[in-house]
A and B are shown apart, each in its own frame.
Chain A
């Protein structure tokens, strides 16, 4: 195995594109090194992207936030502006692993690892986040939900890697939230999770909504029917009931040691309802 730590995006793309063997991108390494140790992956080349300028920066602009792909999740909760704008995204990212893992793990890595239970992904999709992908043909932007193509698989092509995660500017009357179910209080993998991002009008009526579910299908679900169920309402009980039903209906989960199909289907609705209540309050709704 070779280790390279290029100084530019161009050099990183060239290294990844030219490699004839198996090449992997190293951001936080909290998935890559575990898989290497377990013998699941045997890289010929590892490209550490963290020495590239800007790769560990959180930049705020008029259009929102641009978060370098090497930024550890611990840095997100230390950024007051980001916490204020996207508390759901920050909370979701802060749930990944322990403090030690937080010091290394990244949202871009969480997305590229493509686990159905990735905590940051449903929150990012609810927020309408995009990623900037660098590759041999230049840069392209993709919605976060379009990146994973299956369990452990993404649409990234040879030579491509995620350079940054782009969060839009938060709406003036907007709010987001993320909740997951785990059987303990800390350090576990989501059995079910839900992300909600809402925008209200001056009267507290929901004008825009994005509702997402994690760990109930091979990839993250963006549930359009759940959003429809609450748009035009003040999140009254009838709307919440419809939201929960739409979420449960969208689930395509598996049975495993952490939860049954029935449990996941039921809890998806409950979590989406609770996350919507938090997002509604954060958006200024009463």
Chain B
């Protein structure tokens, strides 16, 4: 297999990489670019731990080929905080103890960010449906929902 050369934008920076044609974006991020925030849970698009945003659309990076990324704009969890300053979603997840083991957290944060961009004032039901593609085996989800509600409120007021 000959490598594919890709030029893309990740969190605002131009990034060039070479990958195998059958290599997923998740593997490129984690194994080639050192961006290990996105996690591999299931590898089949069911758990959402690898969530990223491509050209404004929330997707599972395990179901995207790295080769598809040429000319695209990618947002990952590594771009969420501004330096040391956490995003309101990140801070509220900590304040509400909306995580235990943390494996699902980057995916939840990215999915919640995508949800709030589309709907800044979601109902509890809308949050639960919006995050239905993200699995958490620790929290029972309630704390995650509360954290998203608190962040949404804070972001609307800001």
Contact = CB atoms under 8 A, between A and B. Distances in A.
A3 B59 contact: no
B57 A74 contact: yes
Given A3-B21, A34-B45, A37-B43, A100 B58 contact: yes
Interface in B110-143: 111, 114-115, 129-134
Nearest to A187: B132
B150 interface: no
Taking chain B's interface residues, is the majority helix, strand, or loop, or is none over half, making it mixed? mixed
A13 B153 CA distance: 51
A274 B64 CA distance: 37
Interface in B7-52: 21-22, 24, 43-46, 48, 51
B111 A3 contact: no
A101 B59 CA distance: 6
Interface string A259-282: 000000000000000000000000
Contacts of A38: 44
B4 interface: yes
A238 interface: no
18 contacts: A1-B22, A2-B2, A3-B21, A3-B65, A3-B67, A5-B67, A5-B70, A29-B65, A29-B68, A30-B45, A33-B62, A36-B22, A37-B62, A48-B65, A99-B115, A100-B60, A103-B57, A104-B59
Interface of A: 1-3, 5, 26, 29-30, 33-34, 36-38, 43, 46, 48, 50, 72, 74, 97-101, 103-104, 186-187
Given A99-B114, A100-B58, 6 more contacts: A1-B21, A36-B22, A99-B132, A103-B59, A104-B64, A186-B129
